[in-house]
Chains A and B, each alone.
Chain A
Amino acid sequence: MLEQPWELNGSVAIRPEPFGALLYDFTTRRLTFLKDPRLVAVVEGLAMAPTVGEALDRAGVPAAERAGFDAALHRLAEQRMITRRTA
């Protein structure tokens, strides 16, 4: 995943909240919470970054915390909140 281009799923809306953000998928009616503002920055930055790894860099996620962010991104991918960018 780290080497691939990803993006927020087109049917998902993102709303900033004091603790991070809420994501809502209009298709699956699923609600998800991002509880770290840096994760919000990563997710929002995916579409503009060539790879997921680059999005993590740009959001200033230090190497020591990568594993946690990686796991969170995988969970979001399982829920199809984020999807692999094809074009």
Chain B
Amino acid sequence: MTLAPERPAATGTRLVDHFEHGLDAPICLTWELTYACNLACVHCLSSSGRRDPRELTTEECFGLIEEFESMKVFYVNIGGGEPTVRPDFWEIVDHAVAHNVGVKFSTNGFRITPERAERLARTDYVDVQVSLDGATPEVNDRVRGAGTFDAALRALRHLRDAGMQDTKLSVVCTRENIPQLDRFKEIADEHGAMLRLTRLRPAGRGAEVWNDLHPLPDQQRTIYDWLVAHGEGVLTGDSFFHLAAYGDALPGLNLCGAGRVVCLVDPVGDVYACPFAIHDRFLAGNVRGEGFGSVWRDAPLFRELRSPQTGGACTRCSAYDACRGGCMAAKFFTGLPLDGPDPECVKGNATEALAAVAGGTRPSPSQDHSHSGPVRNAPVPVTIARRPPASPCDESPVGPGRDPLTTG
């Protein structure tokens, strides 16, 4: 990002203005425990599949949790890969809870047996988020793989029957499932779950399918109107603040929190500015060396992200205050300048720049743990390019409904 003279601070008292300078500890910390996954979703943001031999050991995970506790990181969003694939997964969850670090974890549901569901329901401080990317098997399984729709619904039933509160049904919005928004809401309601809609970002394998799957311009409007109509009953994290350019701001975090309130610790302990920004450009350090706290506080990358940013071409846009130029990761992985419009700019201001990005010059992820051979359940790509799953954390620090802002 370019450093630039500060834009006049709007009021100086809005929370986003404080957030821009970063917090003493993240609010939305995603911790991906493993690159191993039993699936191979085509849009996996972390290009997961195979375990990395350098992944943090159980002891290292425990140490990290203790550091989170001392920094008062209230909760972590655990993902992967499929975190439940790690044999010590439940031990890690128990350790976190015992150290006052809440856990919200994302899963494809395959391993949520009735017994597990009951145990989860009995554990305070643990929330479960089940991923589903189609409200019908046809739409879902094409992206996530054969049998994954049934597995997710089975998990939702087990969690409901066990009396689990506040399960989340997490959906990445795509061209194919946007017509199903109402049906997703029904599925969530039927299972006593909360619907969480997130944005498809061109991160990891998502970059390969982004062109085919990202919402069409009229679908963006559909999402916006649908979100406005459903208000705080649906979680979105920071997914759709670029749509605020249509009109009013949506509930949620209306700013790119990367390195300010958001970060990612990956399975090998690398700390990135955001779970959707797994690239050397956004690598701040590693927890194995200096420890997480000093990376968060002092990494030059994070200091840069917390310093005033220029909006580039966006500053001339009437919607800049609400939209703020959109998502850094989406710009980066589509090859756009970071201080310009989001590739999905609703005013169409990215169209030319996108067209000018020559094929093959988009940055690719710095790592890839995709399965190299066949995977049981692998998606059967029809129109979609190729391979695999994940669990985004863009859990909103100030998610609507659950976490409304109250200020003194």
Report the interface size class on chain B: 20 to 34
Task: Using A22-B27, A35-B407 as known contacts, say yes or no to A30 and B74 having CB atoms under 8 A apart.
Answer: no
List the B residue with the shortest CB-CB distance to A69.
B408
* B406 contacts the other chain (CB 8 A): yes
What A residues does B408 contact at CB under 8 A? 20, 33-36, 39, 69, 72, 75-76
How many contacts A-B (CB < 8 Å)? Answer: 70
What A residues does B338 contact at CB under 8 A? none
- CB within 8 Å of B: which A28-80 residues: 28-36, 39, 69, 72, 75-76, 79
The answer on a CB contact under 8 Å between A31 and B397 is yes
The answer on a CB contact under 8 Å between B406 and A29 is no
Interface size on A, residues (CB 8 A): 27
The answer on a CB contact under 8 Å between B102 and A29 is yes
What A residues does B13 contact at CB under 8 A? 35
List the A residue with the shortest CB-CB distance to B102.
A26
CA distance A11 to B406 in the complex (A): 17
Kindly specify which of B15-23, B197-205, B386-394 makes contact with the partner chain. Answer: B15-23
The answer on a CB contact under 8 Å between A32 and B23 is no
A interface footprint on B374-408 (CB within 8 Å = 1, 0 otherwise): 00000000000000000000000110001111111
The answer on a CB contact under 8 Å between A13 and B25 is no
B164 to nearest A CB, angstroms?
Answer: 14
List the B residue with the shortest CB-CB distance to A39.
B408
21 A-B pairs within 8 Å (CB atoms) are namely A13-B74, A13-B100, A15-B25, A15-B74, A20-B408, A22-B23, A22-B27, A24-B75, A26-B102, A29-B102, A29-B166, A29-B402, A29-B403, A31-B27, A32-B405, A33-B15, A39-B408, A72-B407, A72-B408, A75-B408, A81-B406
Chain B residues within 8 Å of A, Cβ to Cβ: 13, 15, 18, 21, 23-25, 27, 72, 74-75, 100, 102, 124-125, 127, 166, 397-398, 402-408
Chain A residues within 8 Å of B, Cβ to Cβ: 13, 15-20, 22, 24, 26-36, 39, 69, 72, 75-76, 79, 81
